[in-house]
Amino acid sequence: MLAQFLQESPQSPLGKASLFTQEKPLKKLSILIVESDHKLALVIKNILFGLGCQNATIAHDGIDALALLQEETFDIVIADWHLKQMGGLDLVSYLRNADNSPNRLMPVVVMSSLAGREHVEKARDTGADEYLLKPFAAKSLLARLFNLIEQPRGFVVAKNYIGPDRRRTRPAHSNDNAAIALERGRPFVDRKPAKIVTNKEEVHATMLSDMPRMLMPDFSLKKKLGLAVNEDSPLTDPSTPIKTPADTAVKWLLRETQELKNIYRILEAHPDKPERFVEHIEKISQMIATHAADFGYARGFQIATLLADFCKHYYDGGNRQHLKIIYGYIDALMTLFTRNIKGNGGKIGESLYNNLSDLMQCYRQGSH
């Protein structure tokens, strides 16, 4: 069987994946294939059928795909970039941004023969979850499905981008790796996903807000397939810490947040040359978000992610109000980590987040 071959192949990225240890791993999923080449579409359908997917539907362009998505419920879309009507990226853009989108959170794999980095980045920035280069082997397709099901990413809703978190992280290894990396002062990039808080209504409500939001990774496909999702693991609940010395984790978070403050002071003193300093704040914030999720600081993960997003997409060096917003984010992080407030932070975490929302709202009103 193909799945058994993948398990035994030393080159396979799925060697230790729980998803493909099952006899028919995709038997409960409904997948939409959008491909103008009918022969290739049938090949993809046969691959999926061999893995148990008995509900794989073919559409030959984006228009037909949208009609099907409006009428039926699908779990995953696999779409070619180049279609006769409404290409794959246009389809992704519609799903992510249109007011009448059937599902803004729909996991999408984009296929293309374009191999340049700029093409991969364009698909990513449009909101695609995965990029599959043509021609591809069966195991390459399965690797993309593995990522969607076993390692879903958070979902970002911001002014200039709606889609999965664009920072790709590696699958988790052992808890000891995190502790060793922190002890040595190096970033540990195995960010674990968090609990499910995604639905269409929440995303739509978020789009009406000026405040960028991060929705936590959605493990509903994994649960639908009957795979174990450890509720006591950092994989699903950021309020549950990795078993590593707590003081090591919080010391690292505090040290990096203090570094943010130091850079902020330099930025404040030299607002005319912000690019390099803002880029440093963005990168450090991303690392803080990674470790905050690792060690159970869900609210810290959320705020650090939003700070990185603000620096990347919103910051204007000539706007003093933006400095206040950056400081507000940093101060909120310092409060959380100084008080060692984990999870969503209860009333304190909610208050900090609401204060940041108010600060952003004041800026928005003042900019009109």
Span 47-89, pLDDT tens digits: 998 888 889 999 999 999 999 999 999 999 999 999 888 889 9
Does a structural domain hold residue 80?
Answer: yes
Are 135 and 222 in the same domain? no
Are residues 36 and 78 in contact, defined by beta-carbon separation less than 8 angstroms?
no
**How far apart (Å, rounded) are the C-alpha atoms in residues 368 and 247?**
45
Query: What does the alpha-carbon distance between residue 329 and residue 359 come to, in Å, rounded to a whole number?
Result: 10
Please say which residue of 105, 134, 150 terminates a domain. 150
Q: What is the band of 216 on the pLDDT scale with cuts at 50, 70, 90? A: confident
User: 268 in helix, strand or coil?
Assistant: helix
Whether residue 250 lies inside any domain: the answer is: yes
On whether residue 164 sits in a domain, the answer given is no
Q: What is the CATH number of the domain that holds 10?
A: 3.40.50.2300
- Token readout for 125 is 């920035």
Count CB-CB contacts under 10 A for residue 327: 17
pTM comes to: 0.55
- What is the reported pLDDT for 5? 41
Burial 52-82 (b: 16+ CB within 10 A, else e): bbebbbbbbbbbbbbebbeeeebbbbbbbbe
Residue 146 has pLDDT above 60, yes or no: yes
C-alpha separations of 177 from 26, 174, 187 in Å: 32, 6, 11
172 domain residue, yes or no: no
Residue 51 lies in a domain: yes
Whether the predicted pLDDT of 366 surpasses 70: no
Print the domain residue range for 111: 2-150
Residues 134 and 217 in one domain: no
Q: How wide is the angle at C-alpha 239 spanned by C-alphas 235 and 240, nearest 5°? A: 60
Residues 206 and 114 in one domain: no
Question: What pLDDT shows up at residue 16?
Answer: 43
Do 227 and 95 belong to one domain?
Answer: no
103 and 54 inside one domain: yes
Q: What is the mean pLDDT of residues 160-187?
A: 49
Strands 155-157 and 130-133: unpaired
Q: Please check whether residues 97 and 191 belong to one and the same domain.
A: no
95 and 226 housed in the same domain: no
Q: Residues 77, 194: one domain?
A: no
Question: What is the Cα–Cα distance from 342 to 292, expressed in whole angstroms?
Answer: 9
Q: Is residue 137 part of a domain?
A: yes
Q: Are residues 129 and 205 in the same domain?
A: no
Number of C-beta neighbours around residue 270 at 10 A: 12
Residue 232 domain-assigned (yes or no): yes
Between CA 353 and CA 214 the distance in angstroms is: 12
Which residues fall within 8 angstroms of residue 278, CB to CB, at 6 or more apart? Answer: 267, 311, 315, 317
Q: Compute φ and ψ for 130, nearest 5 degrees.
A: -140, 155
Number of domains, the chain: 2
Residue 122 sits in the same domain as residue 194:
no
Last residue of a domain, which of 93, 128, 150?
150
Q: What is the pLDDT of residues 101-110, one digit of tens each?
A: 999 899 999 9
End residue of a domain, out of 121, 150, 179: 150
- Within this chain, do residues 138 and 210 fall inside the same structural domain, yes or no? no
The mean-pLDDT minimum among 39-43, 45-49, 185-189, 245-249 falls in 185-189
Question: At 266, which amino acid appears?
Answer: I
Same domain, 129 and 224: no
What single DSSP character describes residue 170? P
